[in-house]
Amino acid sequence: MIVVVACLLVAMLALMGLVTDAGMVQCNRRHAQRAADAAAQAGARWLLGGQSASNVASAISAATYYATQNMILSADVSVEIPPASSAYFNGSNGYIRVRTIRPVNTTFMRLFLRQPTVNVAAFATAGVSRQPVDVTLLCLRPTGKDSLMLSGNGDINVGQGTVIVNSSDPAALSLKGNGSLYAGNVQVHGGWTRGGNGTIIGQVTTGAPVVPDPFESIVEPVITSSSTVLYGDGEIGYTSPDSGGTASKPANKVIGSTTTLRPGIYWGGLMMSSDASVTLLPGRYVMAGGGLTVSGNGNLNGTDVFIYNTRDPYKPNGVGGYGMIKATGNGNLNLKASTASADPYYNGFVFFNDRANSNMIDLSGNGNVTGFSGYVYNKTGLLVIEGNGALGALGGVVYYMEVRGNGGFSATDPTRSPSTPSVRLVE
């Protein structure tokens, strides 16, 4: 019996050592995985701003820092942008892969296999994915009455979309005309009033929570030289061959005839008057000062276009300063925002005002503008809809908004709606 017990004791001690080693390995494996997950997500946050060299460097630094904060030695952290060894995201610039290692001291293996430590590795990949925006109209102004005001006879019809007003005023949303607001859901932080015969068709919630700007993480184009602009996705654009001016001598390009324009920077902006008929080729347009004006009987056409309204940083006054976007004529405004396949970053935006540009966007034409489709973004300014025409399919995130005319608009085409970037673990 002594011999049997002695043999069983050795086996039991070996089994206990094996269980201890396995438990310690599993515990450290979970710790290494949590550290890798946190590091990958922290690094991916920097990729929300694009994949420029500085953002990539910051992402690597952030991933390493958060791994070390979770008790991983910096020498045991490796970061790949783009992932070089991931099966599904190999070469994808919008993703970051982190590998963490935790050394584990052994008992059983130390005694019987002469292996004092084993290294436990974990991997995590995170990236920037884009999700469709879930709001059709959002007025960001936090206080003040008439943050969304209907004073004409026109209708706002966003189908089953959502309309949100962030103002805390009791008259944050006001109906002063005879038009109606049609929406699946209307959320007002303050209250709403009616002074005319207009109605709201849809579920109305007052005292609703404030909704932040869903496009805050969209990186604006930045003019980086007298001939180049850096877009949020890292792409570089150049001065359009059709620009009326240069960085040092901005000039508003006035068009009064049939013309086709190419994408790029327009130093001093664009003006269409008289009987001009202008076609914008697909792409990104930067109004560096002067804004964009469509007046008279002019026609403006374009499919898969993105128009950014900023100023000329080299001549920020006069024609090079911040301008308005105005469509006040009797002609046609047939602009369609880019689809996700045409422009994966700025898809869905027709007009995008520089966040520092508080000038209004004025769509007050009387013509046929039913070909308009996309979102208007004016974070610090007013959006005015006024006229007798139908604006087509529009969405918007603006500071505040007034509908004064007899026309109206409907919900935007879902294939031409913006998508917002967010960080998620993918493996």
DSSP class of 344 = T
Q: Max CA-CA distance within the chain?
A: 111
CA distance 36 to 29: 10
Residues 6+ apart with CB under 8 A from 77: 39, 63, 64, 67, 68, 98, 99, 100, 101
Q: How far apart are the first and last CA of the chain?
A: 54
Instruction: Please give the backbone phi and psi of residue 60, each rounded to the nearest 5 degrees, phi first.
Output: -65, -45
Instruction: Please give the backbone phi and psi of residue 272, each rounded to the nearest 5 degrees, phi first.
Output: -110, 120
pLDDT value at residue 304:
96
Question: Which is higher by pLDDT, 251 or 419?
Answer: 251
pLDDT value at residue 251:
96
Band (303; pLDDT cuts 50, 70, 90): very high
Mean pLDDT over 239-244 rounds to: 96
pLDDT value at residue 295:
83
Task: List the beta bridge partners of residue 383.
Answer: 361, 401
The tens digit of pLDDT for each residue in 71-130 reads: 888 888 989 888 886 556 776 777 899 999 988 777 666 656 566 777 888 899 998 877
Q: Taking Cα atoms as reference points, which of 375, 369, 372, 373 lies closest to residue 389?
A: 369
Instruction: Please give the backbone phi and psi of residue 172, each rounded to the nearest 5 degrees, phi first.
Output: -60, -40
CA distance 165 to 169: 10
pTM of the model: 0.80
CA distance 419 to 422: 10
Pairing of strands 299-310, 283-288: parallel
